[in-house]
Amino acid sequence: MFVLGIDPGLTRTGYGLVRRSRAYEAIAAGVIRTDPDLAMAQRLLELERDLSGVIAEHRPEVVAIERVFTNRNRQTAIAVGRASGVAMLTAARAGLLVHEYSPNEVKLAVTGDGAATKAAVATMVARRLQLGSVGGPADVADALAVAMCHLQQVRLAAGTRR
């Protein structure tokens, strides 16, 4: 299975493509940035275009997105919600199923601790993907973690059906 994991954000949206055969394998990862000086609609359009490009280039089978959680900063939560909506729409338009996972579900799946720090998540992502480290901002490690979480959930669900 080949999964595109997305850590949505308006300023930075992390993406990570992970394949699992015998082990997890990172295929690509990065960050999509939007210009804060642009109007909101233009920023969302920029995000949609870049995500469409990632999907067209890599052709994932499914998309996993970190679910928006209520943040103390309402403006941040609204911006993340908008970016998340664009990511879901872009995936659906490409004919891909979308699965959402809470931050705690992702942390638990990757580290074994639903309250793990961002540093712990990045460390475990790098270890499980056999990378020296995960480059870039935390959004990259978070997106890879979301993809890994989905792969793990699918594997667990398949194991319970036997």
In order along its 162 residues, the chain shows pLDDT tens digits of 999 999 999 999 999 999 998 889 999 999 999 999 999 999 999 999 999 999 999 999 999 999 987 667 788 889 999 999 999 999 999 999 999 999 999 999 999 999 999 999 999 999 999 998 888 889 999 999 999 999 999 877 777 544
Q: Which of 50, 66, 105, 142 is catalytic?
A: 66
Q: Which of 7, 50, 105, 142 is catalytic?
A: 7
CATH 3.30.230.10 fits 2-160, yes or no: no
* 139 in active site: yes
For residue 128, list its beta bridge partners.
none
* 50 in active site: no
76: left (phi over 0), alpha (psi -120 to 50) or beta: alpha
Q: Which of 50, 105, 139, 142 is catalytic?
A: 139
Structure tokens at 35: 């210009």
What residue spans define the domains of the chain? 2-160
* 37 in active site: no
User: Who's near 75: CB < 8 A, 6+ residues apart?
Assistant: none
- pLDDT on residue 70: 66
Distance CA 34, CA 40 (A): 10
pTM for this model (two decimals): 0.93
Query: CA 153 from chain center: how many Å?
Result: 15
Residue type at position 82: R
